């Protein structure tokens, strides 16, 4: 006790104010909230992060009425099969089924490492009242340095009045050494709440990468 008392005294100023040495990061382990306005925590609220370890990445919790907008960020999604597409689907039953009807558009801009360019609507990668998976990245390469990054935003997934709009942009170096940016948008044509999202490839597993879910306050 004597040693502690002396060391504690060393952590006080002569006015009895606690000095920085009185605290370390462990001291605040039990503080889970702070007064409103004391720290600007921002409006981008981390909800969860998943690292690829199986065929699919599913978010079955955290999508609710807490936020009006949710964002999934894709960080270096690396596929197991050369030429696989990266895609997603939605669920209104907590992830039991991923088969929500969607109408979407899809276009892309390409520039190959050799300088060949393309800017076009991506027919065959869109959906017209389809329950199929929505492609958001095509012909991904499996080279050690090849991956996909981007985001998917879903607006007001818990609405039971309106269809659910989403927008998505991804960037990848595809299997043909092409830089490709893909723009997808559309709506889940349902008034049921969307409460789960699955990310997967068209054929093989997601070998590595992580997906982070945020809510926008």
Q: Which residues bind other proteins (CB under 8 A)?
A: 1, 3-11, 21-24, 26-35, 37-45, 68-69, 103-107, 119-121, 123, 126-129, 155-156, 159, 161-163, 165-167, 183-187, 189, 191, 216-217
Judged by beta carbon, residue 19 or residue 60, the one nearer other proteins is 19
**Rounded CA separation 102/168 (Å):** 14
Question: Is 57 or 90 the residue whose CB approaches other proteins more closely?
Answer: 90
Cα gap 215→164, rounded to integer Å? 15
Q: Measure the CA–CA gap between 107 and 94, rounded to whole angstroms.
A: 30
> What single-letter DSSP state applies at residue 3?
H
Q: Report, in Å, the least distance between residue 62 CB and other proteins.
A: 17
Strands (E), the chain: 44-51, 57-59, 69-79, 84-91, 102-112, 117-121, 134-140, 148-155, 164-174, 178-188, 196-201, 206-216
Tell me the closest approach of the beta carbon of residue 17 to other proteins, in angstroms: 14
Minimum CB separation of residue 93 from other proteins in Å reads 19
Mapped onto helix, strand or coil, the DSSP state of residue 166 is strand
Separation CA 79–CA 172 (nearest Å): 11
The distance of closest approach from Cβ of residue 204 to other proteins in the complex, given in angstroms and rounded to an integer, is 28
Residue number with CB closer to other proteins (35 or 115): 35
> In a 3-state reduction of DSSP, which class is residue 27?
helix
Least CB distance to other proteins at residue 111 (A)? 17
Least distance CB 136 / other proteins (angstroms): 13
Is 70 or 74 the residue whose CB approaches other proteins more closely? Answer: 70
Write out the DSSP string of 88-139: EEEESSTTS-----EEEEEEEEEEETTS-EEEEE-TTSS-SSB-SPEEEEEE
H runs (alpha helix) in the chain: 2-10
């Amino acid at each position: 006790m004597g040693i502690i008392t002396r060391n504690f005294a060393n952590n006080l100023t002569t006015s009895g104010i606690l000095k920085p040495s009185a605290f370390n990061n462990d001291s605040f382990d039990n503080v889970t909230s702070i007064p409103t306005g004391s720290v600007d925590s921002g409006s981008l609220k981390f909800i969860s992060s998943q690292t690829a370890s199986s065929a699919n990445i599913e978010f079955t919790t955290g999508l609710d009425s807490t936020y009006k907008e949710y964002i999934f960020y894709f960080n270096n999604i690396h596929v197991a099969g050369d030429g696989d597409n990266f895609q997603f689907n939605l669920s209104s039953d907590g992830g039991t089924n991923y088969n929500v009807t969607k109408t979407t558009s899809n276009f892309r801009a390409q520039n190959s490492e050799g300088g060949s360019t393309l800017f076009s609507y991506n027919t065959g990668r869109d959906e017209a009242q389809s329950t199929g998976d929505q492609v958001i990245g095509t012909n991904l390469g499996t080279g050690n340095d090849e991956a996909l990054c981007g985001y998917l935003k879903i607006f007001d997934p818990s609405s039971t009045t309106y269809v659910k709009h989403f927008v998505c942009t991804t960037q990848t170096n595809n299997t043909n050494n092409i830089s490709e940016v893909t723009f997808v948008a559309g709506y889940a044509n349902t008034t049921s709440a969307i409460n789960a999202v699955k990310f997967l490839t068209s054929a093989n597993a997601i070998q590595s990468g992580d997906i982070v879910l945020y809510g926008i306050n």
